[in-house]
Structure 1
Amino acid sequence: MLEIIGYVAGTLTTLAFVPQVLQIYRTKSVKDVSLAMFLLFTLGVALWLGYGIMTHSFPVVAANAVTLILSFVILYFKWKYNEANLSK
């Protein structure tokens, strides 16, 4: 039962980032995305991933690995679309 709660929690918190990634991709706008917040968040997710690996907790590893990828995508969009807006 405990593992199931971990998987459900990880799935929900990870899926929460998908609409943000899609919104940024569609609008090409990142003006309301805080770079400082996402950098801190990404560092936190990376540490959670390390924790999950060290404790052999697959739900923590799986959720944070996917969340880290989504977070990197958002950071990439932040860089890419800010650069595009600066060059206009």
Structure 2
Amino acid sequence: MDVAVEAIGLVAGAMTTSAFIPQAWKTWRSGSARDFSLALLVLLVLGNTLWFGYGVMKGSTGLVVANLITVPLTCFILWVKLRRG
């Protein structure tokens, strides 16, 4: 049962994390994050950082891996937002 639960977590993490990749790529190419809400980005960075910590404490590979990728992607978009608008 634990293997199935962790597999679901890994698939869910892969799906939600991969959703940020096209947006990060678009932000990189355009150099702008103007259409993003600052509050959204701050909350995503903080929330995903907490999910990462929670995953570490619970020993959840799915949470750790997903947020290890998502946090830098959202930090990048936030950085562009703060730097260039």
| TM over 0.5, shorter chain | yes
2:26 pairs with one of 23, 28, 38 = 23
CA shift for structure 1 position 70: 0.6
Alignment of 1:1-88 (within 5 A): 1-82=4-85
Calculate the aligned-residue CA RMSD, in Å.
Answer: 1.0
CA shift for structure 1 position 31: 1.4
Mapped partners of 1:56, 1:81: distance in 2: 38
Identity %: 44
Question: 1:36-68 CA deviation, whole Å, 9 max, x = no partner?
Answer: 111011111011111101111111111111100
CA shift for structure 1 position 9: 0.4
- Structure 1 spans left out of the alignment, 5+ residues: 83-88
Mapped partners of 2:59, 2:23: distance in 1: 29
- Structure 2 spans left out of the alignment, 5+ residues: none
Following TM superposition, the consecutive aligned residue runs of length 4 or more in structure 1 with deviations greater than 2 angstroms are: none
| Superposition TM-score, scaled by structure 1 size | 0.86
Mapped partners of 1:50, 1:29: distance in 2: 29
Mapped partners of 1:45, 1:78: distance in 2: 18
